[in-house]
Chain A
Amino acid sequence: QKEVEQDPGPLSVPEGAIVSLNCTYSNSAFQYFMWYRQYSRKGPELLMYTYSSGNKEDGRFTAQVDKSSKYISLFIRDSQPSDSATYLCAMSEEGRRALTFGSGTRLQVQP
């Protein structure tokens, strides 16, 4: 079993829909949680960075962490075709030098 599980998709939604992307994990020591967006043939770019449990909002994006369930989510409101990309979750323990990544979910937003 992988340490971080993420549905690969593809997830196809119409423009304007609310998108929910999720990751589950098994390591209860993870404290820092990140979401990256990766366009085709580009490097991942950081979207959201949260510590421990709770919600964080930034524009159309909301990140949620539920440590009791070992489950994190990224919500995208009013999705746009430009949101079409692969979304990677990543997490780390306190003071650890490297991240553990999910395998990514490919999102397609249809105009």
Chain B
Amino acid sequence: DGGITQSPKYLFRKEGQNVTLSCEQNLNHDAMYWYRQDPGQGLRLIYYSQIVNDFQKGDIAEGYSVSREKKESFPLTVTSAQKNPTAFYLCATKEVAAGNSPLHFGNGTRLTVT
């Protein structure tokens, strides 16, 4: 995980509740990303942030929200509007958003909503 911490590792919530997933990095990378991973579907981009106080929607942003108040932190809130929130959520960082360096991932949070 190389300096990217996601917590908690497992999270359980009741339907209708909002839940916030934490992602902290000490790599001093500018860009941070949230991906969702479902069996057989690979990784899908939810939101990304290139710099502090700025973020953009990815391919599946509906039902999610983010903030980027500090360079080190990029929390993801899964709202009650997300229809199928149960999934494995991965946070990633990149040295510079527009550059061609690869992504580095945290170890994920598995969210189960019942």
- Which A residues are closer than 8 A to B by beta carbons? 4, 6, 8, 31-32, 34, 36, 41-46, 49, 51, 88, 90, 92, 94-95, 97-99, 101-104
Contact of B107 among A42, A94, A101, A103 (CB under 8 A): A42
Q: Is the CB of B98 within 8 A of A46?
A: no
Asked, given contacts A97-B48, A97-B50, A97-B97, whether A103 binds B104 with beta carbons under 8 Å apart, the answer is no
B interface residue numbers (CB < 8 A to A): 1, 4, 6, 31, 33, 40-43, 45, 48, 50, 56, 58, 90, 92, 94, 97-100, 102-108, 110
Is the beta-carbon distance between B100 and A92 smaller than 8 angstroms?
Answer: yes
Given A34-B102, A95-B100, decide whether A103 and B42 contact each other with a Cβ distance below 8 A. Answer: yes
Q: Which of A4, A90, A97, A104 has the most CB of B within 10 A?
A: A97
Q: Bound state CA distance, A65 and B19, in angstroms?
A: 41
- A41-B45 in contact (CB<8A): no
With both chains docked as a complex, state the minimum distance between the C-beta of A28 and any C-beta of chain B, in angstroms: 17
Which of A4, A41, A42, A46 interacts with B104 by CB under 8 Å?
A: A46
For the complex, what is the distance from the CA of A16 to the CA of B108, rounded to whole Å? Answer: 31
Q: Are A43 and B106 in contact (CB under 8 A)?
A: yes
Shortest distance between the CB of B42 and any CB in chain A (Å)? 4
The interface residues of chain B lying within 8 Å CB-to-CB of A42 are 107-108
Per the bound structure, the CA–CA distance linking A32 and B100 in Å amounts to 7
